[in-house]
């Protein structure tokens, strides 16, 4: 089945550790996105990528990093510089200018 | 830069009541508009979208939305809600020419049986 796979679904980490969240899509979409969802704040864009080997910062990129070495993959690293990393992270993909298709999300808890 | 405002953060309705959720956006150019829904425990899915043409768009599960350009609004409506419509609803705007998609803060709808 075509879709977006995020892993892991749940992740616990200690403060000061970097964490990488995986996002893979087999929809052949050019664009991929990472959003963060917090209660009462909606979805806020962290990073997005329109083509392979290129990506742009979103509204809350500080403390995060990404790479886009393959069309189907867009991993997100939550670094120790992120001050409030506990959140629900959503990956999405789209054709250029089209609707976004979302994965099921990864819930990160930093202890 | 685009921004989206959803005025109702929590809405509680009884089954069969009519629903209207407000969405206003701020952007100087042409936009694409979306409503997404997140049912409890499920991933975000598209409810409906407006790119161009008829400003009244119909989506899944009996939902519709009207784009009023002069008011920068894209309100979501449903004539008669069901208990299964309990979910969080997000309005989103995208400037045409592949600008990033910006979401509102969401509206939690609770429909009581």
Higher model confidence: residue A14 or residue B96? Answer: A14
CA-nearest residue of chain A to B8?
Answer: A40
pLDDT confidence bin for A40, thresholds 50/70/90 = confident
Which range, A13-17, A25-29, B38-42, is most confident? A25-29
Average pLDDT estimate for A74-99: 92
Taking the C-alpha atoms of residue A16 and residue B56, their distance in angstroms, rounded to an integer, is 50
pLDDT digits (tens, 9 = 90+) for B80-92: 999 999 999 999 9
Does residue B1 register a pLDDT over 80? no
Q: What is the CA radius of gyration of chain B?
A: 13
Cβ distance of A100 and B103 shorter than 8 Å? no
Higher model confidence: residue B33 or residue A41? Answer: B33
Q: What is the pLDDT of residue A93?
A: 95
Average pLDDT estimate for A55-75: 96
Strand partners, A1: none
Contacts A42 to B, Cβ<8 Å: 6, 90, 103-106
Average pLDDT estimate for B55-69: 96
Query: Could you say which DSSP state residue A73 is in?
Result: B
Torsion of CA A95, A98, A101, A105, to 10 degrees: 90
Does residue A111 register a pLDDT over 90? no
**Nearest partner of B94 among B45, B9, B33, judged by Cα:** B33
Higher model confidence: residue B57 or residue B2? Answer: B57
Share the mean pLDDT of chain A: 93
Tokens coding B19: 């629903």
Higher model confidence: residue B7 or residue A69? Answer: A69
Average pLDDT estimate for B97-113: 89
Best mutation target among B7, B8, B103 (most A Cβ atoms within 10 Å) is B103
CATH number at residue B89: 2.60.40.10
Q: Which residue has tokens 């020419």? A: B97
pLDDT confidence bin for A1, thresholds 50/70/90 = low
Q: What is the pLDDT of residue A81?
A: 87
Higher model confidence: residue B70 or residue A2? Answer: B70
Share the mean pLDDT of chain B: 93
Cβ distance of A102 and B44 shorter than 8 Å? yes
Higher model confidence: residue B98 or residue B79? Answer: B79
**Nearest partner of A39 among B34, B110, B106, judged by Cα:** B106
Structural domain span for residue B14: 3-112
How many domains, chain B? 1
Strands (E), chain B: 3-5, 10-14, 19-21, 24-26, 31-38, 45-50, 56-58, 64-68, 73-78, 87-95, 101-103, 107-112
Does residue A91 register a pLDDT over 90? yes
Question: Collapsing DSSP states into helix, strand and coil, what is residue A32?
Answer: strand
Taking the C-alpha atoms of residue A45 and residue A36, their distance in angstroms, rounded to an integer, is 7
pLDDT confidence bin for B98, thresholds 50/70/90 = low
pLDDT confidence bin for A99, thresholds 50/70/90 = confident
């Amino acid at each position: 089945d075509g879709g977006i796979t995020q892993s892991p679904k749940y992740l616990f980490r200690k403060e000061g550790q970097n964490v990488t969240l995986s996002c893979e899509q087999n929809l052949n979409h050019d664009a991929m996105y990472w959003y963060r969802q917090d209660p009462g704040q909606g979805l806020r864009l962290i990073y997005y990528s329109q083509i392979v080997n290129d990506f742009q910062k979103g509204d809350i990129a500080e403390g995060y990093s990404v790479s886009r070495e393959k069309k189907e993959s867009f991993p997100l690293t939550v670094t120790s510089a992120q001050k409030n990393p506990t959140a629900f992270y959503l990956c999405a993909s789209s054709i250029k200018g089209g609707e976004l298709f979302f994965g099921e999300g990864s819930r990160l808890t930093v202890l | 830069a685009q921004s989206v405002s959803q005025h109702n953060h929590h809405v509680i309705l009884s089954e069969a009541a009519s629903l209207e959720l407000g969405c206003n956006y701020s952007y100087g150019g042409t936009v694409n508009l979306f409503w997404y829904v997140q049912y409890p425990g499920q991933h975000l899915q598209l409810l409906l979208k407006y790119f161009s043409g008829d400003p009244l768009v119909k989506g899944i599960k009996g939902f519709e939305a009207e784009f009023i350009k002069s008011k920068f609004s894209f309100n979501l409506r449903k004539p008669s809600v069901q208990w299964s419509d309990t979910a969080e609803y997000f309005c989103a705007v995208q400037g045409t020419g592949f600008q990033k998609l910006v979401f509102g803060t969401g509206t939690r709808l609770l429909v009581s049986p």
